[in-house]
Structure 1
């Protein structure tokens, strides 16, 4: 029986009636899912070559299919071709178009495959492509942090623990701490890609294909390292999607931490940083306001990405093998995370790149709150005083300063001796920002010489990550 006009679908031969309107409404892919069309076409090209190897297509049919699929891809990307309301999903949409244009040749393309391995392949290709774009955006933010750090190698600022003044650092070191976190986020993407570079094509519905028996060739064509080892796992697994969501969630958390610091730095209480007017907003009622909305919006979206991860994990929990329609939820979470980061990362990079740091205010605040106290304890320890005693002596010195309403920079030699005879004037030369920072000269420390070395190593690491992001052999869009 011929399917009625406008109700094309990839199934239905054993059904006596058409799908109910409610079923069609629930079953139809969301509009955002059709963005996978270029990746579906890439998989279809590889599948068509496999059908040629199997003898299902002849040489002429293969060429006509490949040429038409390239036209369809271009039309879709340029917005000249779109799915109809009757197309159930991206696979139905593309098969309909190809069949309308090529007749029986287009209809042959379905042989030897299932929507199960197609769906798994489409999203995997999409994520591998977008992982590179995501990495490039993160690297652009890191470049902005590094550029700022290079101008603040001798900008002394307060380092905090518990959001309380702790020890002085150079501001470059603080900025690079965020860059190091983002470096690990990109490294996670690279590590994720190593595990995800396996093609599900050839798995068909779940048992493998009796027609397409050379999946390694399709895998190579699509930029994978190899086909999936197990056809059931190939169509049922979504741990690679969950892991991708984790990486995006971790990245969002790291972005939220930088955002929170920018919000603090730009406050009137801190006055460390002023945002460029192009990367700040005002108030509809208070004319004086200059708000760090980019940082606040980015901070808020972290919760959403964490929620996407939790939602997919809940969907996957106890799901039996092999394919279940529940798995279509993977795309909502992945698309939302990628779209969100595609907005926030460039905005954050621009904000960091253009912000202005008040170096004088940084320096004025750096010694406040007795941040140089550790220098006294270390000086005593280096002269043989047990650190427990050195700690107590220094605490007594801080208490004496608090009682007098002075900072450590105001301490006199007479005060030192009165606190403990083992304290004398020599310690005063260590109670400067320069001396305190330069003393932290071990690997990874805040001494400017070490920070310069850190920048040099980070630049090399970012170059390696950029090479990975730009040297992808799979389909892109």
Structure 2
């Protein structure tokens, strides 16, 4: 058992207790951050006269070599150590001797692990933001290419009014745009350095915490040493943001699954993102969309786990907080995979424009516009609403769309109808006249696309 403590103990820790307590099997993922933080710490210690220049140089050189060897596969992170911090420190001492024993001066594992986790999450916030940018770019291309791809819009999963595929994709653009903005907010709020907080009460050494923070790219040091080591709000916020991303992906996946069904046939998922059946040779299943939908619960679970872990913890550090890592690592990996695969599926998907347009025509999606047509002819809206309701019943009996009725049939229900009604209730007219900001009309969509392009340039 290789550990950094034990002076006041008279016997060895039980092996089962040691294994239960150890975190190296998962926190070895923090090696890069642990070494980055240690280098910044010793550079600051030398600046403050706590280490000599020679000691600092030896430590930095030793840490750099450990990192390079692990990355190259020449050095294994041994599970005989309790955690990644003890592995790094013990390996350094083995290599450079007593100078390595001074690396931990003025530092506790509490502020060390708080720093490592914050550095890791900060990097992953940026990485996931890049994945979102790729998905947003795909959505923007779909918006540009489908300004006149007419389709039914839905409420209660029933056809409601006509819209365009561009408009529909624009709704998801807004969702994932908010996700990216949430990540930006989290980054800004979490970007303060806990290193130098010690176990929870600071240290008597003359540390320059502002300097250390600047070396690590933080806005500054955290302002309360007790909160510094016990804060996991940024993990909770991050997992909440990841859960929201997954919720949006899951909603999108649900629509793709529905649209891919034989009953809809709005889309065809590319073979590269589909699977077949072991018994039914005709099947082509949208497994990626289904798995994304399913993995949403996994990410939700990570959020609930850390919320539950933190809810009863007194100040300051408690070992319970070790539970923040595995669930966070798994959630990050899951969201990255889902974003990449979903983007690949979406960018290769075939949209069946003709089927989508016919679905809009057969679903009475122009009924509201037909009522608005009558209002324009002087009919009170409530009366117009009733007339179009009768018209829909008549069409259901005949098995046709409103605009497939002759003018004579229309006038039997209301003499107000004239020949110009057909143009007024065509899908193109229904969509194009909706020009308010956020609507599906061509000019409104072109304006929105320009604004979204400008936003993407800020990411």
TM-score bin, normalised by smaller chain: over 0.9
Q: 1:53: how far off?
A: 2.6
Alpha carbons 2:183, 2:238 under 8 Å: kept: yes
Alpha-carbon separation, structure 1, partners of 2:117 and 2:408? 73
Aligned counterpart, 2:256: 262
Contiguous gaps of at least 5 residues in structure 1: 1-6, 466-477
Query: What is the 5 A alignment of 1:152-191?
Result: 152-191=146-185
Q: 1:149: how far off?
A: 2.4
Corresponding residue to 1:38 among 20, 32, 38: 32
Question: What's the CA shift string for 1:224-247, capped at 9, x where partnerless?
Answer: 111111110100011110000000
**Is residue 2:115 matched to residue 1:121?**
yes
Alpha-carbon separation, structure 1, partners of 2:72 and 2:381? 70
Alpha-carbon separation, structure 1, partners of 2:109 and 2:206? 14
Q: 1:402 to 1:355 in 2, by over 3 A?
A: same
Alpha carbons 2:151, 2:357 under 8 Å: kept: yes
**Is residue 2:203 matched to residue 1:209?**
yes
Alpha-carbon separation, structure 2, partners of 1:345 and 1:62? 42
**Is residue 2:102 matched to residue 1:108?**
yes
Q: 1:380: how far off?
A: 2.7
Aligned counterpart, 2:396: 402
Runs of 4+ in structure 1 displaced over 6 angstroms?
A: none
Aligned counterpart, 2:241: 247
**Is residue 2:81 matched to residue 1:87?**
yes
Q: 1:187: how far off?
A: 0.7
Corresponding residue to 2:326 among 303, 323, 332: 332
Q: 1:30: how far off?
A: 4.8
Q: 1:444: how far off?
A: 0.8
Q: 1:413: how far off?
A: 2.3
**Is residue 2:435 matched to residue 1:454?**
no
Question: What's the CA shift string for 1:52-108, capped at 9, x where partnerless?
Answer: 133221011111111221111111222222222221001101001111111110110
Give TM-score, length-normalised by structure 2: 0.97
Question: What's the CA shift string for 1:178-209, capped at 9, x where partnerless?
Answer: 12111110110000111000110010100112
Aligned counterpart, 1:4: none
Aligned counterpart, 1:468: none
Question: What's the CA shift string for 1:289-339, capped at 9, x where partnerless?
Answer: 111111111110001111111111011112100000000111112101111
Aligned counterpart, 2:373: 379
Aligned counterpart, 2:412: 418
Give TM-score, length-normalised by structure 1: 0.93
**Is residue 2:356 matched to residue 1:362?**
yes
Aligned counterpart, 1:475: none
Alpha-carbon separation, structure 1, partners of 2:320 and 2:378? 67
SS in structure 2 opposite 1:110?
Answer: coil
Query: What is the 5 A alignment of 1:245-324?
Result: 245-324=239-318
- Tell me: higher relative CO, structure 1 or 2? Use CA pairs within 8 A at least 6 residues apart: 1
Q: Aligned-residue CA RMSD in angstroms?
A: 1.4
Alpha carbons 1:165, 1:368 under 8 Å: kept: no
Q: 1:384: how far off?
A: 4.2
Alpha-carbon separation, structure 1, partners of 2:26 and 2:346? 31
Q: 1:159: how far off?
A: 0.9
Alpha-carbon separation, structure 1, partners of 2:205 and 2:357? 72
Q: How many equivalent pairs are there?
A: 459
Q: 1:158: how far off?
A: 1.1
Alpha-carbon separation, structure 2, partners of 1:26 and 1:203? 27
Alpha carbons 2:59, 2:99 under 8 Å: kept: yes
Alpha-carbon separation, structure 1, partners of 2:97 and 2:384? 88
Alpha carbons 1:202, 1:212 under 8 Å: kept: no
Aligned counterpart, 1:444: 438
Q: 1:424: how far off?
A: 3.4
Q: 1:212 to 1:251 in 2, by over 3 A?
A: farther
Query: What is the 5 A alignment of 1:134-145?
Result: 134-145=128-139
Q: 1:383 to 1:224 in 2, by over 3 A?
A: farther
Alpha-carbon separation, structure 2, partners of 1:45 and 1:384? 78
Alpha-carbon separation, structure 1, partners of 2:273 and 2:20? 41
Query: What is the 5 A alignment of 1:455-470?
Result: 455-465=449-459
